[in-house]
Copies of this chain bind each other. A is one copy, B any other.
């Protein structure tokens, strides 16, 4: 039978990251490719204990729940938001199946074919896929290590009337970059001036290495909650398998997203949501986040020490101030996509950078994840990677 699919499915893209992961899972390859948290430090005892409390609370815990999410969890998220300078209320918080679902539901209520979304370049691949799956056109705004260029941003707001601006301002995926405070404020002011929404994706904000630095969420400028949808997740600070994230922002938008979520899946697993509530109540999550920070910082440093051994100037990167990735730019004449085959043959993997780009891809870039591998594996993998990088001709 010949199937007649919705025309928008023509915009679906296979995820190259997913394809790479499928290949490397087969061999004895050390992977710096996926964006996985360190499972050796998962707080499994605390998670286990939290689930025990759910079952101890009785049969009612296993019944259908509210689309918006488990109310005590939303209260706990509200308190967490306040610590970040985002003042909201529990009824303006929607619990989602990870921030991926936030991106999807927000896109669903906002985007029609032909609409424009402004993004950074490079940016999170799976967000680009979602925007395009709704027929939106993604337009990249120029930027540098401090964030989007305000002049180009304003010019593109005027030219394209975008439905929203999508940003990961803190320890971004893929390039580990963090915006400075001025650029955050400028984005907010321009969005306010031109009545444009911002989708602030903040999965990594908690994983900050240097305690003296301050990264204010863009949503913290939006005191009236009129212009910024802020989303984050417990996938990186607790465990990914929970699939629990949240979103807060303008009430009118949230109400439509709740309707969309109801149609999408009624509600996210309420066993997981209740467990997370008990975990936040009884477990010192801030202390655990401090452990994550120091473990990831150590792993990042080990990886970086290797990169420092490469021919000076040949490969460039910026030391990340948090998050899970080092973004490396090689000499212009190389294609890291071609290099990957060689790397996998040697037993190590990374993600070629090209696919994260909206505009002309920089084929000489690649992304390294340091959070998932233990120090021993990082050393072994980097030994292998060094051989690959050493084979790159200087000219």
Tell me whether A239 is interfacial, beta carbon within 8 Å.
yes
**Residues B15 and A241 in contact, CB atoms below 8 Å apart:** no
Q: Tell which of B101, B115, B241 touches A62, judged by Cβ atoms closer than 8 Å.
A: B241
The bracket for how many chain A residues form the interface is 35 or more
Q: Is the Cβ of B263 less than 8 Å from the Cβ of A133?
A: yes
Q: Report yes or no: A269 in contact with B266, Cβ–Cβ below 8 A.
A: no
Of A253-261, A353-361, A384-392, the one touching chain B = A253-261
Q: CB < 8 Å: which of B36, B59, B256, B272 contacts A5?
A: B256
Contact A59:B36 (CB < 8 A) given known A112-B8, A265-B98: no
Q: Is A243 located at the chain interface by the 8 A CB criterion?
A: yes
Distance A100 CA – B266 CA, assembled complex (angstroms):
7
* Residue A337 is within 8 A (CB to CB) of chain B in the complex: no
Question: Given that A97-B268, A243-B266, A265-B100 are contacting pairs, would A260 and B2 also be in contact in the complex, using a CB cutoff of 8 Å?
Answer: no
Cα A259 to Cα B8 in complex, Å, equals 12
In this complex, the member of A2, A7, A241 whose beta carbon has the largest number of chain B beta carbons within 10 angstroms is A241
Identify the stretch in A40-48, A278-286, A343-351 within 8 Å (CB) of chain B at 4 or more residues: A40-48
What is the minimal beta-carbon distance from A193 to any residue of chain B, in angstroms? Answer: 11
Asked if A163 lies at the interface with its beta carbon under 8 angstroms from chain B, I say yes
Give the shortest distance, in Å, between A229 (CB) and chain B (any CB). 11
| Known contacts A36-B64, A62-B39, A256-B12; is-contact A100 B263 (Cβ 8 Å) | yes
Q: Does the CB pair A264–B266 fall under 8 Å?
A: no
Task: Among B14, B61, B269, point to the contact of A272 (Cβ < 8 A).
Answer: B269
Q: Which of A2, A36, A60, A264 has the most CB of B within 10 A?
A: A264
Contact A129 to B263, CB < 8 A, known contacts A44-B55, A59-B39, A63-B36: yes
Q: Which of chain B's residues have a CB closer than 8 A to the CB of A9?
A: 109, 256
Q: Enumerate chain B residues within 8 angstroms of A115, measured Cβ to Cβ.
A: 6
Instruction: Name the CB-closest residue of B to A43.
Output: B62
Which one of A44, A61, A129 has the highest number of Cβ atoms from chain B below 10 Å of its Cβ? A44
Q: A residues near B, CB below 8 A?
A: 1-9, 12, 14-15, 18, 34, 36-37, 39-40, 42, 44, 47-48, 51-52, 55, 58-65, 67, 96-98, 100-101, 104, 108-112, 115, 126, 129-130, 133-134, 163, 195, 197, 226-227, 235, 239-243, 250, 252-253, 256, 259-260, 262-272
